[in-house]
Structure 1
Amino acid sequence: MLIALQDITFEFGARVIVQNASWHIVPGDRVGLIGLNGTGKSTLLRVINGEYSVSKGSVEKIRNLSLGFFNQDLLSFESDESILEVAMTAFAEAQQLEKDIERITKELETNQEEALLIEFSDKLHAFETLGGYDMRHRSAQVLEGLGFSTADLERPYSQFSGGWRMRVLLAKLILQQPDVLMLDEPTNHLDLPSIEWLEKYLSSYNGAVIIVSHDRYFLDRMVNKIVELYQQELHHYSGNYEDYEAEKDLRREMQQRAYENQQDYIRQQERFIERFKAKASKAAQAQSIMKRLDRLERVEQVDNGPSKIRINFTVDKTPGKIIATLKDVTKKFGNLTILENTSAEINRGDKIALIGANGKGKSTLLRVIAGTEPMTGERIGGHNVVSSFYAQHQLESLQLDSEILDELKSCGSGRTEVELRALLGCFLFTGDDVYKRIRILSGGEKARVALAKTIISQANFLLLDEPTNHLDMNSVQMLIDALAKYDGSYVLVSHDRYFVSQTANKIWEIVDGEIKEFKGTYAEWEEFKKRQADAAKQLNGGNDNRKKESKKEQPAPAPAPSQQPKNGNTPIDKEKQKELQKQQRAFKQLEEQLAKLNEKKASVETALNSPEIYADKKRFKEVETEYAEIGKQLKKVTEEYEVAFEKLMELEG
């Protein structure tokens, strides 16, 4: 056991967070800590971290336990060092040893005493044990996994925005490899590729992991236990979030059945008491039954949890068949090309999820569709289209001196105050909260008000940029239910894969400046990408193990249904066949280059792991420079390899 919370009670001011709660954390635990917003999940993590003391019970930890806590407060950290240097502070002990070794190396030039040589040898061994020789490589690897480019690694930490800073600090925490890793909403700062990387990393993490997250898709993939903080108690469940929901339903059903059976029993006994308590022959028996009922441990009626208020969109007008058309659109920011001569069409009934890595231009494309972003090319709006755009950075339309309720009344939706208050309750504004002025709200609260305004706008076309940020799971589910019944069309950007999987019937990606459309759900798109990845493995399968095999054509990936030939008599395109053969030769050459570079890289890594080379500072610098150069070449050839693969896929499809 790593940590034991024994019958703890913790009050935050006058408010009780947990009462008589217990929780044992053991090696290998992957725990999802869940609960409604405001119940105190983050506070409970701080109790475990030792920032707060409990008023009753105890928090026991094994000796020398290392804890890592990823949370919003980390943003107070400032540094002008490069992000690589910031991440490498995870190796503080190894870095100190590195300085000691450098100092001793200089001393050895004039002093060859045995004691100094022994100290030098000991420190070299300790440096190697702590991973000092590959700390730079590992730090770069984790940062790039979290979405940074190789060029970004030397940029100062101070130049990055809050979301990217959080990624740097998450990288540092990961590199520290604590016994217990506590992550408070880690996916809020990550795009889809980075979330997938984090999932792969955590799946093989040796320590225990506690995750607070509203991303149920992430929890389903990551956790093997759920701890729910509800009504000041901790409720423990085995399995992931999906298992938790099933087990909770079963527990509630059994509790309700036990409650109803006990109530039937109590009513029968009370009828007997009422009927016979005045009769001398039955009075003693009635008295005995009364005492038995007083001692009876009552089963509580099932608490149905937060009220399931329905969010409903209303549409004022029915639009034409085409909502919007983009023709030969190009959008650039200086030397950065976002869109280049790309075209797309949005039809009535389309529910499009625009996904991909940060920096690809998803939010820019939303603004292009909305007609608010200058670009070259043509944007043609459809007939009778009434649009509403929700974006977290576009909150200027909120009247800062208005109260929240008045802000919604001003939209002219015709809804009653009761309906508006119910809607605000879905977005976590309850009771007197609705009378708060917009001016005093946090950024997240303003975003929720803006989303509520979008819902009552009566628009038939919605543009939604990260609408689930700042919502708890209950509110996200309500939004999903509302969008399922919505009669209009929409394009949304979200990194919440569960939300996307439940709301989209088309997937858009921006690839090399083009809008790539996949007609299908997120689950179908994932399966399609998996087929592509499997095909890539087959094409690359001979890279290390099949060099001596005879040349043969690799199997092509299964084309999407719309790409299947209509019959088996399609004439052979000789020009296409020539181009295909040319691309196959180019692809093979790139494979061979990659193999050689990877071999060279492995050889240099072996050299860098040798203590002897570190004693020779000049030689060490040479090898380190060579390693960096190989990294650049690998990146360049890998990019060429991916482009060649895409062309090969198109030709073979």
Structure 2
Amino acid sequence: MIAINNLTFEIGSRALYDEANWHIKPGDKTGLIGANGTGKTTLLKLIVGDAKPTSGTISMSKDIKIGYLNQDLLSYQSDKSILHVAMEAFARQNQLHTEIEELLKKLETDYSEDILHKLSDKQHEFDALDGYNIEFKAHEILAGLGFSEEDQKRQLGEFSGGWRMRVMLAKILLQAPDILLLDEPTNHLDLPSIKWLETYLLAFEGAIVIVSHDRWFLDKVVNRIVESRKGKLTPYAGNYSFYLEEKALRGEIQKNEYKNQQQKIKQEEQLINRFRAKASKAKLAQSRIKMLDKMERIEDVDDENPSVNFSFRFSKQSGRHVIRIEDVSKAYPSNVILEHANAVIEKGDKIALIGANGRGKSTLLRIIAGVESFEGESITGHNVTQTFFAQHQLESLHLENAILEELQAFAPKHTDTELRSILGSFLFTGDDVFKKIKVLSGGEKSRVALAKALTADANFLILDEPTNHLDMASVNILIQALNQYEGTFIVVSHDRYLLDNVANKIWFIEDHQIKEYPGTYAEYEEWQSKRPVVEAKPQIAAPKKEEKPVKKASPTEDKSKQIKKLNQTLQQVEDKVAELEKQLADAELVLGQEETYQDQKKLAAANQHYQSVKTELQAYQADWESLAEQIMELE
């Protein structure tokens, strides 16, 4: 499909890739991994032609269709609705639709055979390209990525960068490419949307290359890993967990080979030193020297899993109850978050707060932190000292400080060695610690703010998306740090690997209440999958709208009787809508279950059932609107 041969790419005097090779085959689902700065994003740009290699080749068939999601798409602007933007994926269908409209207009005055033949040809091609279903497909993809029907009518410019990226992802998926190149696709998605994307990618028949730091996502989706390291591309036939096992095994073999070679080199050097001074052995010594020079040296295995070697300190222990939330209500003009909610955070709790975007996770964290207005009480317990990490904390960094100075001022009880250790964990090594805050990128500032949070004299941590901008090594460091932390914390994150490794309780907001599951994230997922759902079975097609027409009021009937009849029908339709909405929610749960999306037949059946319910629901919703309009006119 795509062959990368002897690829070299240089930036100045540095070779990002040095004669690297990789063949992408049809159906491969590959995770492209590596530390920050090893050229993963650059490689995707080389594949699509946005960058040119210094030497080597990247070859592919001429008709291959590539879908490329990259962070540059955030700059795309449009005053069109997001539904319209997503439907731009259907370039030929849209062109045909315009031409068909023009021909239909001409037919109003010109009935020539030429116009009729052209119209027939265009309509035939439009039908062959499934043009009549493109709007439905766009609705389906956008809904999966978290956009409501109302959202889809809004202009692209009304949405934040993260939501705009979702629209771009929808547009790419609708293009049905032969290969998808996805650069950090989960960065701007909440957990339900990530699960939906997992289901979609598992059913995707083309090849996929994903750059991601989300190891849970990679384990679910990919069947091979390619590691970008030291200018080379090394393949592993399995998901991320298999890669870790296989790499550890390869590393052990390489380490033994390195030790054996070093021992041999040492012995040869001793022989050379012994015989070099003797004239009779000089020729033998020279021969040994040449042999050593020609020897292909085996590299030692680098330690790529740095460990946390600093201790967390807080000067006082908290009481048993850290936070008590009592009768708390919080609502925005268009969104009720909490309604008379109650919850308790106890000493030693490690809580993961999860849920879809817009459900109020960050709002609840701000309520707990005491920086958000609300009704009710949030009572802080005895001796509780807290620190709050959120993305806006970047604004509190002192721009003129060096990185190390920023931590020294914030955590004076820690030694410079300890501070440099934690900074090293977050990729600030050597002289990097003397860089001014003002010259750092947004991601680097985020890492400094997180390092500050972890050095605070606090026995209660509130962490809002702490893994943003962190690579896998840094996420592992954060996991180690939180596991060593003896205080209490609550964390919001879409990194399920982190959540599963640090949390002992799961919180989620449901029916405007704070619900709790007492266990790990993996246990919560299993429990969630067993909650009552409608079994996904193939369903007969939903009745067509004309088969259940809304009864029009007879002009001869008394107006009050008409209204009464219409209201009765409206109530029946409302009941049916509620029933179908429940069925649709249950069908979505089935689609998100691991046993469904790992079985292609089950996935196909579940998708068919979901679409059937959705189509029937839309028909009944349209009937409800028609009935409501009639009642309003009569009243």
TM superposition score normalised by structure 1: 0.81
Structure 1 residues 368-423: Cα deviation after superposition (integer angstroms, max 9, x where no partner): 11122111111111111111100002333322332222111111432222322222
In the alignment, the residues of structure 2 paired with residue 434 and residue 272 of structure 1 have an alpha-carbon distance, to the nearest angstrom, of 46
User: Contact (CA 8 Å) 1:594, 1:634: kept in 2 or not?
Assistant: no
Q: CA deviation at 1:92?
A: 1.1
Structure 1 residues 314-345: Cα deviation after superposition (integer angstroms, max 9, x where no partner): 22211111101011100111242100001000
Once the two structures are superposed, the pairs formed by residues 625-644 of structure 1 within 5 Å of their partners are 630-631=617-618, 633=620
1:256 match: 255
CA gap 1:406/1:132 in 2 versus in 1, 3 angstroms: same
CA gap 1:258/1:634 in 2 versus in 1, 3 angstroms: farther
In the alignment, the residues of structure 1 paired with residue 311 and residue 91 of structure 2 have an alpha-carbon distance, to the nearest angstrom, of 54
In the alignment, the residues of structure 1 paired with residue 524 and residue 176 of structure 2 have an alpha-carbon distance, to the nearest angstrom, of 34
User: Contact (CA 8 Å) 1:32, 1:225: kept in 2 or not?
Assistant: yes
In the alignment, the residues of structure 2 paired with residue 414 and residue 254 of structure 1 have an alpha-carbon distance, to the nearest angstrom, of 43
Provide structure 1 residue ranges, at least 5 long, that are not aligned to the other structure.
Answer: 546-585, 599-626, 638-653
SS at match of 2:88: helix
User: Contact (CA 8 Å) 1:324, 1:346: kept in 2 or not?
Assistant: yes
Structure 1 residues 238-264: Cα deviation after superposition (integer angstroms, max 9, x where no partner): 111111111111111111111222233
Q: CA deviation at 1:127?
A: 1.1
2:43 match: 44
1:4 match: 3
**C-alpha RMSD of matched pairs (Å):** 2.7
2:312 match: 313
In the alignment, the residues of structure 2 paired with residue 385 and residue 245 of structure 1 have an alpha-carbon distance, to the nearest angstrom, of 39
1:519 match: 518
SS at match of 2:313: coil
SS at match of 2:16: strand
User: Contact (CA 8 Å) 1:42, 1:184: kept in 2 or not?
Assistant: yes
- Is 1:537 the counterpart of 2:524? The answer is no
In the alignment, the residues of structure 2 paired with residue 90 and residue 423 of structure 1 have an alpha-carbon distance, to the nearest angstrom, of 46
CA gap 1:423/1:635 in 2 versus in 1, 3 angstroms: farther
2:374 match: 375
1:502 match: 501
CA gap 1:337/1:233 in 2 versus in 1, 3 angstroms: same
- Is 1:350 the counterpart of 2:349? The answer is yes
- Is 1:86 the counterpart of 2:47? The answer is no
Kindly provide the amino acid, as one letter, of the partner of residue 618 in structure 2.
G
Moved more, 356-365 or 307-316: 307-316
Structure 1 residues 246-305: Cα deviation after superposition (integer angstroms, max 9, x where no partner): 111111111111122223333344444444566687666655544444433332222223
Q: CA deviation at 1:634?
A: 5.8
CA gap 1:270/1:404 in 2 versus in 1, 3 angstroms: closer
2:223 match: 224
In the alignment, the residues of structure 1 paired with residue 127 and residue 248 of structure 2 have an alpha-carbon distance, to the nearest angstrom, of 52
SS at match of 1:258: helix
Provide structure 2 residue ranges, at least 5 long, that are not aligned to the other structure.
Answer: 542-571, 585-613, 625-635
1:618 match: none
SS at match of 2:186: helix
CA gap 1:596/1:329 in 2 versus in 1, 3 angstroms: closer
Q: CA deviation at 1:157?
A: 0.7
CA gap 1:376/1:36 in 2 versus in 1, 3 angstroms: same
In the alignment, the residues of structure 1 paired with residue 44 and residue 517 of structure 2 have an alpha-carbon distance, to the nearest angstrom, of 41
CA gap 1:451/1:6 in 2 versus in 1, 3 angstroms: same
User: Contact (CA 8 Å) 1:413, 1:456: kept in 2 or not?
Assistant: no
User: Contact (CA 8 Å) 1:507, 1:518: kept in 2 or not?
Assistant: yes
1:470 match: 469
In the alignment, the residues of structure 1 paired with residue 322 and residue 178 of structure 2 have an alpha-carbon distance, to the nearest angstrom, of 53
2:561 match: none
In the alignment, the residues of structure 2 paired with residue 289 and residue 403 of structure 1 have an alpha-carbon distance, to the nearest angstrom, of 52
Once the two structures are superposed, the pairs formed by residues 98-497 of structure 1 within 5 Å of their partners are 98-275=97-274, 288-305=287-304, 307-310=306-309, 312-497=311-496
In the alignment, the residues of structure 2 paired with residue 410 and residue 417 of structure 1 have an alpha-carbon distance, to the nearest angstrom, of 11
In the alignment, the residues of structure 2 paired with residue 497 and residue 448 of structure 1 have an alpha-carbon distance, to the nearest angstrom, of 19
Q: CA deviation at 1:126?
A: 1.6
2:611 match: none
Structure 1 residues 39-90: Cα deviation after superposition (integer angstroms, max 9, x where no partner): 2211111111101111111111211222221111111111111110000000
1:582 match: none
1:66 match: 65
In the alignment, the residues of structure 2 paired with residue 233 and residue 337 of structure 1 have an alpha-carbon distance, to the nearest angstrom, of 52
SS at match of 1:239: coil
CA gap 1:407/1:66 in 2 versus in 1, 3 angstroms: same
Structure 1 residues 548-604: Cα deviation after superposition (integer angstroms, max 9, x where no partner): xxxxxxxxxxxxxxxxxxxxxxxxxxxxxxxxxxxxxx9xx8599649999xxxxxx
Structure 1 residues 99-133: Cα deviation after superposition (integer angstroms, max 9, x where no partner): 11111222334444444333222222221222211
Q: CA deviation at 1:231?
A: 1.4
User: Contact (CA 8 Å) 1:181, 1:208: kept in 2 or not?
Assistant: yes
Structure 1 residues 524-561: Cα deviation after superposition (integer angstroms, max 9, x where no partner): 101101111xx3135x879879xxxxxxxxxxxxxxxx
In the alignment, the residues of structure 1 paired with residue 110 and residue 456 of structure 2 have an alpha-carbon distance, to the nearest angstrom, of 80
CA gap 1:293/1:440 in 2 versus in 1, 3 angstroms: closer
User: Contact (CA 8 Å) 1:367, 1:373: kept in 2 or not?
Assistant: yes
In the alignment, the residues of structure 1 paired with residue 5 and residue 130 of structure 2 have an alpha-carbon distance, to the nearest angstrom, of 37
Kindly provide the amino acid, as one letter, of the partner of residue 184 in structure 2.
E
CA gap 1:55/1:70 in 2 versus in 1, 3 angstroms: same
User: Contact (CA 8 Å) 2:576, 2:620: kept in 1 or not?
Assistant: no
CA gap 1:489/1:593 in 2 versus in 1, 3 angstroms: closer
How many matched pairs? 563
Structure 1 residues 160-215: Cα deviation after superposition (integer angstroms, max 9, x where no partner): 11111111111001111222211111101000000000000011112211111110
In the alignment, the residues of structure 2 paired with residue 543 and residue 129 of structure 1 have an alpha-carbon distance, to the nearest angstrom, of 26
CA gap 1:292/1:502 in 2 versus in 1, 3 angstroms: same
